[in-house]
């Protein structure tokens, strides 16, 4: 079996399909900014990895569907919006949006443990008794509360997250570094609401403040790996959508 030249397969990876091994290697190279100037074509990658063009197409398919690599007929592939914190909508980009606005993003973790939740397990397509990583955080822009969120992850894949310091880092970066999980897509529903008394207390704002309630399922290679519920202040956060990327912004007051 051929092995990508940039990666030595370990015993635990022996059953990984060749295309997936190549895809994982390409993701590692993207994260190392190897393709900042240009992204190689299918023929060049097939030659580099000593595999067929069909194998390369299979490896690139999920990256193209996730919007990470462009896929336009008659044009060479190119990286699109590769920075993790900017790729998947308002929750995903919150950390970077706060920092890019010239403020410091800080998280206060209220809960980080293993537990069961039949409702969250259902969202992840898991058995109701499956153990999950549960993280509850309050998030700040400088010293002002901007959001509270609750995240459930499969413990079988993401238990290492519990050892991480989430005070000043993006959860998705931790998932990538500690668990080898890189989100490649997902779906989310954004509800426009006004805060009730409990929500206002959580967000440190007056009752009736405009807010967003966001529900998200995050996918890695097509499999659900994250269920997230986020309550975010609408007077501190705006959502600007463009195509294909999705960009979010924090209002600096």
pLDDT 10s digits, 6-17: 443 344 444 678
Per the CB < 8 A criterion, the answer to whether 27 and 184 are in contact is no
- Rg of the chain (C-alpha set): 20
pLDDT 10s digits, 72-109: 555 666 665 444 334 444 445 576 667 666 778 889 99
Closest-CA residue to 228 (of 170, 168, 180)? 170
Per-residue pLDDT at 97: 67
Secondary structure (H, E, C), 169-216: CCHHHHHHHHHCCCCCEEEEEEEEEECCHHHHHHHCCCCCCEEEEEEE
pLDDT 10s digits, 67-79: 567 655 556 666 6
Q: Which two tokens stand for residue 158?
A: 């993401």
Say what the pTM is.
Answer: 0.62
> What percentage of the chain exceeds 70 in pLDDT?
74
């Amino acid at each position: 079996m051929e092995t990508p030249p940039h990666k030595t397969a370990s015993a635990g990876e022996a059953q990984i399909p060749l295309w997936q091994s190549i895809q994982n290697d390409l993701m590692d190279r993207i994260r190392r900014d190897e393709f900042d100037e240009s992204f190689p074509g299918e023929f060049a990658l097939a030659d580099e990895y000593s595999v067929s063009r069909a194998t390369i197409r299979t490896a690139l398919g999920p990256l193209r569907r996730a919007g990470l690599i462009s896929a336009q007929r008659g044009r060479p592939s190119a990286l699109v919006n590769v920075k993790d914190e900017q790729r998947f909508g308002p929750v995903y980009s919150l950390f970077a949006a706060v920092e890019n606005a010239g403020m410091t993003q800080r998280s206060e973790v209220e809960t980080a443990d293993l537990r069961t939740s039949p409702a969250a397990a259902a969202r992840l397509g898991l058995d109701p008794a499956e153990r999950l990583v549960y993280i509850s955080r309050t998030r700040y822009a400088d010293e002002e509360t901007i959001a509270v969120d609750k995240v459930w992850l499969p413990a079988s894949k993401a238990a290492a997250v519990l050892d991480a310091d989430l005070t000043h880092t993006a959860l998705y970066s931790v998932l990538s570094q500690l668990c080898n999980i890189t989100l490649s897509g997902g779906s989310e529903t954004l509800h426009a609401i006004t805060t009730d008394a409990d929500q206002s207390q959580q967000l440190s704002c007056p009752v009736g403040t405009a807010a967003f309630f966001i529900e998200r399922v995050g996918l890695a290679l097509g499999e659900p790996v994250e269920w997230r519920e986020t309550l975010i202040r609408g007077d501190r956060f705006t959502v600007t959508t463009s195509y294909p990327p999705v960009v979010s912004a924090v209002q600096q007051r």
